[in-house]
Amino acid sequence: MSNSHEPTNIDRREFVKRSAAGMIAGRLVVEPVRRDERIRGANNRVVVGVIGSGRQGLSDMKSAMRHPDVDVAAICDVYQPNLAKGVALAPSAQQYGDFRRVLERKDIDAVIVASPDHWHPLHAILACEAGKDVYVEKPISVAVAEGRKMVDAARKHGRIVQVGTQQRSGKHFQQAAELVRSGKIGKVTQVRCWNFGNESPDGIGTAPDGSPPPELDWDMWLGPAPQRPFNSHRFGVSDARWSTFRWFWDYAGGMMTDWGVHWLDIVQMATGADAPVAISASGGKFALQDDRETPDTLIATYQYPGFICTYENRLANAAPLNDKRGGIDFHGTDGTLFVDRGGFEVTPETRRSGDSILDRSEAIQVSNSNDNHVDHLHDFIECVKSRRTPVADIEIGHRSTTTALLGNVAYRTGRRITWDGATERILGDSDASRHLTREYRKPWTL
Ligand SMILES: NC(=O)c1ccc[n+]([C@@H]2O[C@H](COP(=O)([O-])OP(=O)(O)OC[C@H]3O[C@@H](n4cnc5c(N)ncnc54)[C@H](O)[C@@H]3O)[C@@H](O)[C@H]2O)c1
């Protein structure tokens, strides 16, 4: 079944509902092809610029470059060693320290935005305004209101915007979601998502403020975030580990938005829910003696219509759940479906019938069967060419990011938040509502 001739004026809520439900069956086209759009034939090249060639940017680049029609023509990074790594992958690309010079180039069709989270909204919106299609990493923003502006910019300028929640392109994730949606495990009443590890006692350690290294444009790294002296942990880039900017509120949201968003994205894909109605969270930085600001222990609880969902993060004890340090359990009246990046498994509930104990559902085990990251980037490239809506369209990515961000709002305010997903407002709590936006450091504005 093809949905390719859906009307273009469906409302936002209906769009999300339909795109979740129609995820496997087909894609919606919500963007009319603009008059000035170059219509690419099957052999046309897609010219790509990369903004932020750090660890994930390089990975995104590699996956994109496996598409036969991709030319990476520009790499931009504010940190010279990472810029050099990008250019090593695409030697014919031009190098930039200022992303605005990339956006000025008329030959660039699309950009991959893999800068730290606090830059995503500006990078993505300015790219849309410059007529570029955008692949933007998750989480798409640091504050909810920024994400809505990203959706608006994509729509206003008729751009394809795919979010880097690549699990959506995982065949086994799609199959698991379809099983949940089709009622295979009965009515789902509880969902648990988790990431466990043990970094105690030192965590990322401590580092003093100092002067930025000469090969870094610290002011351009900070961008819209508050001015402050250079700190190597806030900058975070290191060959030894994922960058530690993730653990500072000015730039990111800790594990809740780093990993939590991946699981919550699948929860919303599988259940068709696009927003929780209430959120509460508890946690703290109890064990790790390091510079991070984000908690080392957190449980966020989401009330959705018809079920509850928790995201649990523990960084000071790695004891697994189901033998797994991360994943999602969907608990239904007829069975439990566990899914992680390795595959999924359905464990039936049992019922008594006379003397027999019968399974209520079918035991199923399915392994991961595709490289979802490569397929996700290729979905983006194909959508750039065809103007189809990508599998993780910006509206979907915004909804998933919002859910994760609200977990942090609940944690940071210590409040139970009532959320209106239709208007994207916190009800009856002006204090908590302040966390839905953030101030930009001049001259940057959104
Ligand atoms: N989809 C996934 O599974 C996944 C995995 C890892 C990271 N990510 C996301 O990717 C993003 C980058 O994370 P990372 O771990 O690669 O970080 P990183 O620090 O390794 O890379 C970010 C790069 O952006 C550069 N940068 C900062 N400001 C810039 C600017 N104004 N213009 C150009 N470049 C700029 C930095 O110098 C750095 O090289 C984050 O949003 C993260 O959440 C996604």
CATH architecture of 171-206+236-369+403-436: 2-Layer Sandwich (3.30)
- CA 187 to centroid of ligand 1, rounded, Å: 39
Binding site membership of 78 for ligand 1 (Cβ less than 6 Å): yes
Q: Where in the chain is the domain with CATH 3.40.50.720?
A: 12-167+373-392
Domain 12-167+373-392 class in CATH: alpha beta
Rounded CA separation 208/221 (Å): 18
H or E segment to which residue 264 belongs: helix 260-271
Q: Is 164 in the pocket of ligand 1 (CB under 6 A)?
A: yes
Tokens of 352: 């008594």
Q: What is the pLDDT of residue 44?
A: 86
- Residue nearest atom 36 in ligand 1 by C-alpha distance: 52
Residue 56 beta carbon below 6 angstroms from any ligand 1 atom: yes
pLDDT in the model for residue 16: 35
- Tell me how far the alpha carbon of residue 330 lies from the centroid of ligand 1, in angstroms: 31
Span(s) in the chain for CATH 3.30.360.10: 171-206+236-369+403-436
Q: How far is the CA of 85 from the centre of ligand 1 (A)?
A: 13
What is the value of pTM for the model shown?
Answer: 0.92
Distance CA 230, CA 226 (A): 12
> What is residue 414's predicted lDDT score, i.e. its pLDDT?
97
DSSP calls for 389-401: PPTTBHHHHHHHH
Alpha-carbon distance 406 to 426, whole Å?
9
pLDDT of residue 11: 39
Alpha-carbon span 329 to 324, nearest angstrom: 11
What pLDDT shows up at residue 4?
A: 32
Please identify every stretch of the chain with a pLDDT value under 50, giving residue numbers as ranges.
1-42
Query: Does the Cβ of 119 fall within 6 Å of ligand 1?
Result: yes
Q: Ligand 1 pocket check: which of 115, 123, 371, 372 to mutate, most ligand atoms within 8 Å of Cβ? A: 115
Cα distances (angstroms) measured from residue 198 to each of 75, 159, 195, 204, 321:
36, 42, 10, 12, 14
Is the distance from the beta carbon of residue 243 to the nearest atom of ligand 1 less than 6 Å?
yes
Which residue out of 83, 118, 243, 400 has the highest number of ligand 1 atoms within 8 Å of its CB and is therefore the one to mutate?
A: 243
223 lines ligand 1 (CB under 6 A): yes
Whole-number Å distance, alpha carbon 353 to ligand 1 midpoint, is 56
Peptide bond between residue 201 and the one before it cis (omega within 30 degrees of 0): yes
Ligand 1 lined by 326 (C-beta under 6 Å): no
